[in-house]
Amino acid sequence: MKCIKDLKKLCSKKEQVDCFVLLNFGLRSSKTILTHPDKSVTLYNDIDDTSKTYKDIDKLLEDSKRNNIMEALSNGALIEY
């Protein structure tokens, strides 16, 4: 995914988006984004088995200090499996 628009479009089409953040040295941080019927989204971090639910996709993106999704998008490092 190359931009916020791509992520939003994908989340609107799929209930579950399996992706990863490409890290240095070829490492990756796997994530699952679940979209719920009420438009809330849950982000699961596979590496530490944590999750957080947000009111909507925009709130998830606003919390990028915690989840690094925006940084990954801006660097072209958020990849769908």
Give per-residue pLDDT as tens, 37-61.
999 999 999 989 999 999 999 999 9
The pLDDT of residue 65 is: 78
Give CA–CA dist 48/8, Å, rounded: 25
pLDDT exceeds 90 at position 14: yes
Give CA–CA dist 58/77, Å, rounded: 19
**pTM beyond cutoff 0.95:** no
How would you class 77 by CB atoms within 10 Å of its CB: exposed for 0-12, middle for 13-18, buried for 19 or more?
middle
Q: Cβ of 1: how many Cβ atoms within 10 Å?
A: 19
